[in-house]
Amino acid sequence: MDNITIFTEFLLMDVAGSRELQVLQGVLFLLIYLGALTGNLVTVAIIVTDTRLHSPMYFFIGNVALLDLGTISVVVPKAVVNSLTGSKMISLTECAAQIFLFVVFAAVEIAFLVVMSYDRYMAICRPLHYGLTITPTLCAQAAAGSWASGLVYSAMHTGALFWLPFTKTNVIQQYFCDIPQVLRISSPDVQLSESVLIAVSVCLVLACFVSMFLSYANICSTVLKICSVEARNKAVSTCTPQLAILLLFCISMVVAVLGPTAEQPSLRNLLTAMFYTMAPPFVNPVIYCLRNRDINAALGRMFSQCAQLPVRAFLA
């Protein structure tokens, strides 16, 4: 027992074979992060400042944008710093914080996607009851419930992963603290308890996706029965971005869950992790702006007002 080493730091994956490639990787991560940061902040700013977007649907979209911003901010800044400084170390506390926050944001986003599907179902399939059902109070309760469930769920996962010390190895074949990688180097007792939690999580996630599938199936059935082309196009324009975001989220989850747990650093492992950690936060704002007519119009009004500011200042 005296010869057992208890690790308090972890060594992250380094795919780049040279210092130049490390810096290039850091710059690439930084550009992706700045793009996601700008897109999500602009989305939130538009929804907050434009009174035409003060509705339940855009309240939920704004929250999802904040969650995307949190998800990428948990992982990428540390990876950028490590790449630019040539460091590969992360402390045990930082690793636990990364896993806790990443799981919180992912779990809360799933809950919000379920709520958003119900919101669209009520708006399109039960329009006469929408105003009475989807009230500001209900929206606030749904948001609070989503955050509470995400915090509890993440605390259970993080506690199950870190309740015993790490003695096997401190090498994580990933550029951040990923649950499968941390589980790989954990003790058998930790692996058993976490496996039980993962099994329960799969059941809960499947229930969420069944609920969303039923909502969107009813929406599609209702949209096909609408006679007015304008009303049908409006219904499609409000649902298409959410469906695209849901599809991207599902694909990233499948890649994260079903992807092989790497034993050696590889470019494939790096690209896979980049897809499910960076792609949704980076692409989602683009989907909002291109596929949602109201946000697209609000973005145009915001740019128009910004362009008029120098003219007004000059005239003053």
Task: Supply the pLDDT for residue 105.
Answer: 94
Residue 76 sits in a domain whose CATH number is: 1.20.1070.10
Whether pLDDT at 140 is above 90: yes
Task: Supply the pLDDT for residue 115.
Answer: 92
Task: Supply the pLDDT for residue 194.
Answer: 84
Cα(94)–Cα(176) distance, rounded to whole angstroms?
A: 10
Task: For 261-299, write each residue's pLDDT tens digit.
Answer: 666 667 777 788 888 888 888 988 888 776 677 787 887
Task: For 215-241, write each residue's pLDDT tens digit.
Answer: 888 888 888 887 777 777 777 777 777
Residue 1 — pLDDT band, cuts 50, 70, 90? very low
- Establish if 121 belongs to a structural domain: yes
Whether pLDDT at 87 is above 60: yes
Contact present, 85 and 14 (Cβ < 8 Å): no
Q: List the alpha helices (DSSP H) in 226-316.
A: 229-258, 267-291, 293-315
Task: Supply the pLDDT for residue 311.
Answer: 56
Whether pLDDT at 53 is above 90: no
Residue 61, domain extent: 9-314
Cβ-based neighbour number of residue 131 at 10 Å: 11
Between helix 188-225 and helix 136-162 the angle, nearest 10°, is 150
The angle subtended at Cα 107 by Cα 90 and Cα 285, nearest 5°, is 90
Whether pLDDT at 124 is above 60: yes
The separation between CA 23 and the C-alpha centre of its own chain, rounded to angstroms, equals 26
pTM score: 0.87
Burial class from Cβ neighbours inside 10 Å (0-12, 13-18, 19+) for residue 126 reads middle
Mean pLDDT confidence for 73-84: 90
Query: What's 269's DSSP letter?
Result: H
What share of the chain has pLDDT > 90, as a percent?
Answer: 24
- Establish if 2 belongs to a structural domain: no
The strand pairing partners of 166, in sequence order, are: 7
Residues with Cβ within 8 Å of 83's Cβ and at least 6 positions away in sequence, in order, are 16, 22, 23, 25, 26, 29
35-40 contact pairs (CB < 8 A, 24+)? 35/282, 36/68, 36/69, 36/72, 36/278, 36/281, 36/282, 36/285, 37/69, 37/72, 37/73, 39/282, 39/284, 39/285, 39/286, 39/289, 40/65, 40/66, 40/68, 40/69, 40/281, 40/284, 40/285
- Establish if 276 belongs to a structural domain: yes
Whether pLDDT at 300 is above 90: no
- Establish if 1 belongs to a structural domain: no
Mean of the per-residue pLDDT values of the chain: 84
Task: For 145-196, write each residue's pLDDT tens digit.
Answer: 999 999 999 999 898 888 888 878 888 888 888 888 888 888 888 888 888 8
Whether pLDDT at 32 is above 90: yes
Please give the span between the terminal C-alpha atoms of the chain, in angstroms, as a whole number.
Answer: 78
Whether pLDDT at 201 is above 60: yes
- Establish if 243 belongs to a structural domain: yes
Between helix 136-162 and helix 56-85 the angle, nearest 10°, is 30
Cβ-based neighbour number of residue 56 at 10 Å: 22
- Establish if 238 belongs to a structural domain: yes
Residues with Cβ within 8 Å of 123's Cβ and at least 6 positions away in sequence, in order, are 57, 130, 134, 238
Grouping H, G, I as helix, E, B as strand and the rest as coil, residue 55 is coil
Contact present, 14 and 97 (Cβ < 8 Å): no
- Establish if 95 belongs to a structural domain: yes
Structural domains of the chain, count = 1
What share of the chain has pLDDT > 70, as a percent?
Answer: 91
- Establish if 60 belongs to a structural domain: yes
